[in-house]
């Protein structure tokens, strides 16, 4: 599988979990929520451009998997340059994009954020505030971002994933001792 080869040396931040577990988890959520075969393939490749080669990687994905998959992967990418722009700048730009993104991009983005929030919640329960040392953003910034994604998804869909993401983010905020949405 192409995604396995691309991410073979990657692990989830601060863990020994192979990165492919994240990609498979996101693809599973996408399929469970009605995604197509192209959506599932894009879910497996959604981090390839930003983590494994930038625009040249997108060109390879287009050649190997077609224009539909490449367009979805491109829509899920918040940075295609090295070094990446600062975290807040990337996230604000991505939120603007998500407001007008197509259904497939929103589905995969929602599944990605849900998987990430669930994994962070699991680790926060086990590690407490130590978990936040793994990330470029503070817990407050991370929760702000997730809540902004929820707002967009509640308006544009997918609503079921928006509701589940909101539930997980609220629980993560409580475990992390961060107040309600601002």
If phi > 0 it is left, if psi is from -120 to 50 it is alpha, else beta; for residue 129 that is alpha
Provide the 3-class DSSP secondary structure of residue 34.
coil
Neighbours of 145 (CB within 10 A): 20
Query: Would you call 51 a catalytic residue per the annotation?
Result: yes
Name the catalytic one among 38, 51, 74, 170.
51
Q: Give CA–CA dist 19/26, Å, rounded.
A: 11
Q: Is 89 tagged catalytic?
A: no
Angle between helices 103-127 and 159-175 (to 10 degrees): 20
Distance between first and last Cα of the chain: 42
Residue in 37, 39, 47, 50 annotated catalytic: 50
Which residues are known to be catalytic? 50-51
């Amino acid at each position: 599988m192409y995604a396995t080869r691309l991410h073979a040396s990657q692990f989830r931040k601060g863990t020994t979990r192979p990165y492919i577990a994240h990609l498979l988890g996101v693809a599973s959520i996408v399929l469970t929520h009605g995604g197509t075969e192209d959506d599932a393939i894009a879910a497996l490749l959604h981090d390839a451009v930003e983590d494994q080669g930038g625009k040249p990687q997108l060109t390879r994905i287009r050649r190997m998997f077609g224009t539909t998959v490449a367009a979805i992967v491109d829509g899920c990418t918040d940075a295609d340059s090295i070094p990446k722009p600062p975290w807040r700048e990337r996230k604000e730009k991505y939120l603007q994009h998500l407001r007008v993104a197509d259904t497939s991009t929103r589905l995969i983005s929602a599944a990605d954020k849900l998987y990430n929030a669930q994994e962070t919640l699991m680790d926060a329960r086990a590690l407490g505030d130590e978990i936040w040392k793994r990330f470029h953003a503070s817990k407050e910034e991370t929760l702000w971002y997730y809540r902004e994604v929820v707002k967009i998804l509640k308006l544009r869909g997918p609503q079921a994933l928006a509701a589940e993401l909101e539930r997980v983010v609220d629980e993560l905020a409580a475990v992390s001792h961060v107040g309600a949405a601002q």
